[in-house]
Chain A
Amino acid sequence: MKKGRFGEYGGQYVPETLMNAVAEVEKAYEYYKNDPDYVSELETLYREYAGRPSRLYYADKMTKDLGGAKIYLKREDLNHTGSHKINNVLGQVLLAKKMGKTRVIAETGAGQHGVATATAAALMGLECDIFMGKEDTDRQVLNVYRMELLGARVHPVTSGTQTLKDAVNETMREWTRRVEDTLYVLGSVMGPHPFPTIVRDFQKIIGREIKSQLKEKEGRLPDAVIACVGGGSNAMGAFYEFIEDTGVQLIGCEAAGLGVDNPKNAATIANGTEGIFHGMKSIFCQDEDGQIAPVYSISAGLDYPGIGPEHAMLYKTGRASYVPITDEEAVKAFEYLSRTEGIIPAIESAHAVAYARKLAPEMGKDKIIVINISGRGDKDVAAIARYRGVNIHE
């Protein structure tokens, strides 16, 4: 298999200006992932700073209410900064520091990855620039201020559709402008090699913890692991440890926006075709001329027209399945989990909750589902209120 490939997907489709930079990241990562000092520093940060391991919580009320499979919630929302993004960011920013970089840049959709990057940069004393679609800076005003509070500069991106894909474009452009002292901290299991591998390696702790925590509680493997998928980092993190355990169903939940048949959706597997974009061969929402589609989801974090290459492979080989969840289903699940368990999930994670609500009743009471609650929903409260027609003055 060629370097950085997942089956036929993946690769390194970036401008020549960046080739030495991605090679440098790869070399540094290959070295430091086996460096005892680096590994122990990262473990300490996970434990003492991020609050790992995150809990695996048995959702008793939800289980009883749905009347089928037992439901466990992997509480990535309890991590410092409120989502799984911190797992990857601590790893990459620490790597940047070891590499002698003095500045990190990152794209962000909902702002969770931006906040996590700004946080790690503050902690480790690096300069930080965040690129965020103008539409998203409007949707997530609080997160913009949060990043600025942490010392980052936030650049609203006004090109294209002004959302996550344009933020990625602009961060790549910025990296070609200034590569010497800067590391691009990519937020998902996407982009050119080595990023899909690096990000997955930093996120696979989610699935590893699920496995050992469930073994302790139930003495066995789950029957299904469910996670939301935009680029796919929390899902890849939750799935990876179970890929060899073929009895475990792996289910990714895509953002179907107003519906898979409505142009306003972001369901890549449901509607996409093979292409090469943002450094990788994978599956993308695009037209017959290869123009990337202007996708839509209520969730800024899932509002991305592609999916990571390892997911594309898991889909192609049939190891994982991917289901579309609409805005309406996600909002209902957002409200459901809040009222049933007293846990307000990120609207992204609510897509996974929505599918569990469909699946659990169809499964026997002896079955076990794990839902990855990738982030907390405080950031979404105003948007959900708007969706419900409630006017909130913050």
Chain B
Amino acid sequence: MSRIQNAFKQGKAFISFVTGGDPDLETTEKLIVAMEEAGADLIEIGIPFSDPIAEGAVIQEANERALSAGCTTDKLFDMVKGVREKVSVPLVYLTYINPIYTYGKDKFFKRCVECGIDGVIVPDLPFEEKEELEVDCLKYGVDLISLIAPTSNDRVRMIAEQATGFIYCVSSMGVTGVRSEIKTDINAMISMVREVTKAPCAVGFGISTPEQAREFASVSDGAIVGSAIVKIISQYGKDSIKPVADYVREMKKAVMEA
């Protein structure tokens, strides 16, 4: 069983996100270790990109901080290789298609395997274009995580049928970022997915409070939190390890109660 499948076996999963290299790679490494200890079941690591069109202001700024601090794809791979020896949690990259394409697709996925990356989430690679990466993902056994959105409707079945790893259910319209209220009928989305696949579904976009995490984990297989964590990192910088760990612990507890 893959590390990703395993992450969903012990009940509802809590998935946390961190932008690689924000504020620096050393801190990212410590954050990954601390988040695993605090109970994160899967960790997404953002490869910083100059133009992250699916991100709200909080993660955009994290991307800018990481890039100006000198984070590159190679340096991030090196850090991940190191941290992989310390953690067993599944690690998934979140990035845009251009950094992967420009790095060289074959080389990129080869390094994913070497460094212990289990999957990739690419927000600007929809179902119709997934063959761009599918061959290399299959070749190297890295899961290409599919996203479904509130507007997917008749597309859900098609996407879910071919999903690998887990399915990322986008809770809301728009970009990433903390939201006080999420109106989408997540239940309906999840039941459509359930009709065609057993792949686990985790809900993300806009979740920041334990109540929201509990609510969405109760109707799915897990909750994904990004901007709320990145916000803590932007506030505390290198000293964010403890506050982030405390936050993850609280969120994980909420998810387990779901």
**A59 contacts partner chain B, Cβ-Cβ < 8 Å:** no
A277 and B98 contacting across the interface, CB-CB below 8 Å: yes
Interface size on B, residues (CB 8 A): 41
- Whether A13 contacts B126 in the complex (CB less than 8 A), given A169-B51, A289-B103, comes out as yes
**B242 contacts partner chain A, Cβ-Cβ < 8 Å:** no
Query: How many angstroms from the CA of A173 to the CA of B55 in the assembled complex?
Result: 8
B129 and A12 contacting across the interface, CB-CB below 8 Å: yes
A166 to chain B, nearest CB (A): 8
- Whether A160 contacts B147 in the complex (CB less than 8 A), given A19-B155, A275-B98, comes out as no
A179 and B124 contacting across the interface, CB-CB below 8 Å: no
Taking CB atoms, residues of chain A closer than 8 Å to B129 are 11-13
A289 and B99 contacting across the interface, CB-CB below 8 Å: yes
Taking CB atoms, residues of chain B closer than 8 Å to A173 are 53-54, 56, 174-175
B173 and A290 contacting across the interface, CB-CB below 8 Å: no
Query: How many angstroms from the CA of A11 to the CA of B109 in the assembled complex?
Result: 22
Taking CB atoms, residues of chain B closer than 8 Å to A169 are 51, 53
Taking CB atoms, residues of chain A closer than 8 Å to B125 are 13
**B60, B128, B151: which contacts A17 (Cβ < 8 A)?**
B151
**B57, B73, B151, B153: which contacts A179 (Cβ < 8 A)?**
B151
**B101 contacts partner chain A, Cβ-Cβ < 8 Å:** yes
Taking CB atoms, residues of chain B closer than 8 Å to A166 are 51
Taking CB atoms, residues of chain A closer than 8 Å to B56 are 173
Query: How many angstroms from the CA of A275 to the CA of B104 in the assembled complex?
Result: 10
Q: Which residue of chain A has its CB nearest to the CB of B54?
A: A15
**Which of A21, A160, A273 has the largest count of B CB atoms less than 10 A from its CB?**
A160
**A276 contacts partner chain B, Cβ-Cβ < 8 Å:** yes
Of residues 94 through 117 on chain B, the ones whose CB sits less than 8 Å from some CB of chain A are 96-103
- Whether A16 contacts B147 in the complex (CB less than 8 A), given A173-B174, A177-B174, A179-B173, comes out as yes
**B34 contacts partner chain A, Cβ-Cβ < 8 Å:** no
A290 and B174 contacting across the interface, CB-CB below 8 Å: no
Of residues 6 through 24 on chain A, the ones whose CB sits less than 8 Å from some CB of chain B are 11-21
B106 to chain A, nearest CB (A): 15
A177 to chain B, nearest CB (A): 4
Q: Which residue of chain A has its CB nearest to the CB of B124?
A: A13
B102 and A273 contacting across the interface, CB-CB below 8 Å: yes
Taking CB atoms, residues of chain B closer than 8 Å to A290 are 49, 73, 98-103
- Whether A289 contacts B127 in the complex (CB less than 8 A), given A15-B149, A17-B149, comes out as no
Taking CB atoms, residues of chain A closer than 8 Å to B102 are 273, 275, 286, 288-290
Query: How many angstroms from the CA of A136 to the CA of B96 in the assembled complex?
Result: 26
A292 and B98 contacting across the interface, CB-CB below 8 Å: yes
Taking CB atoms, residues of chain A closer than 8 Å to B132 are 13, 276
**A176 contacts partner chain B, Cβ-Cβ < 8 Å:** yes
Of residues 272 through 322 on chain A, the ones whose CB sits less than 8 Å from some CB of chain B are 273-279, 284, 286, 288-292
B152 and A19 contacting across the interface, CB-CB below 8 Å: yes
**B150 contacts partner chain A, Cβ-Cβ < 8 Å:** yes
Of residues 137 through 189 on chain A, the ones whose CB sits less than 8 Å from some CB of chain B are 159-160, 165-166, 169, 172-173, 176-179
B175 and A291 contacting across the interface, CB-CB below 8 Å: no
**B67 contacts partner chain A, Cβ-Cβ < 8 Å:** yes
Q: Which residue of chain B has its CB nearest to the CB of A286?
A: B102
**A13, A21, A165, A178: which contacts B51 (Cβ < 8 A)?**
A165
Query: How many angstroms from the CA of A278 to the CA of B125 in the assembled complex?
Result: 11
**B72 contacts partner chain A, Cβ-Cβ < 8 Å:** yes
**A15, A284, A286: which contacts B147 (Cβ < 8 A)?**
A15
**B123 contacts partner chain A, Cβ-Cβ < 8 Å:** yes
Query: How many angstroms from the CA of A172 to the CA of B67 in the assembled complex?
Result: 22
**A15, A178, A289, A292: which contacts B123 (Cβ < 8 A)?**
A15
Q: Which residue of chain A has its CB nearest to the CB of B175?
A: A173
Cβ contacts A59-79/B at 8 Å (1 or 0 each): 000000000000000000000
B124 and A15 contacting across the interface, CB-CB below 8 Å: yes
- Whether A20 contacts B155 in the complex (CB less than 8 A), given A15-B124, A277-B51, comes out as yes
Query: How many angstroms from the CA of A288 to the CA of B107 in the assembled complex?
Result: 13
A275 and B127 contacting across the interface, CB-CB below 8 Å: no
Cβ contacts B33-73/A at 8 Å (1 or 0 each): 00000000000000001110110110010001001000011
Q: Which residue of chain B has its CB nearest to the CB of A284?
A: B98
Query: How many angstroms from the CA of A275 to the CA of B152 in the assembled complex?
Result: 26
A16 and B51 contacting across the interface, CB-CB below 8 Å: no
**B170 contacts partner chain A, Cβ-Cβ < 8 Å:** yes
Q: Which residue of chain A has its CB nearest to the CB of B102?
A: A290
A169 to chain B, nearest CB (A): 5
Taking CB atoms, residues of chain B closer than 8 Å to A19 are 126-128, 149, 151-152, 155
Query: How many angstroms from the CA of A21 to the CA of B100 in the assembled complex?
Result: 26
**Which of B125, B126, B149, B175 has the largest count of A CB atoms less than 10 A from its CB?**
B126
Query: How many angstroms from the CA of A112 to the CA of B125 in the assembled complex?
Result: 31
Query: How many angstroms from the CA of A276 to the CA of B99 in the assembled complex?
Result: 9
**Which of A15, A165, A279, A289 has the largest count of B CB atoms less than 10 A from its CB?**
A289
Q: Which 7 A-B pairs have CB atoms at the shortest separation, nearest pair first?
A: A290-B102, A177-B174, A17-B149, A290-B99, A290-B98, A291-B50, A16-B149
10 more contacts with CB within 8 A, not counting A16-B147, A19-B126, A290-B73, are A15-B149, A19-B151, A159-B57, A159-B60, A169-B51, A172-B53, A279-B124, A288-B102, A289-B73, A290-B100
8 inter-chain pairs at a CB distance below 8 angstroms, sorted by A residue, are: A12-B126, A13-B132, A15-B147, A15-B149, A16-B147, A16-B148, A173-B175, A289-B103
By a beta-carbon cutoff of 8 Å, the part of chain B in contact with chain A is: 49-51, 53-54, 56-57, 60, 64, 67, 72-73, 96-103, 123-129, 132, 147-153, 155, 159, 170, 173-175
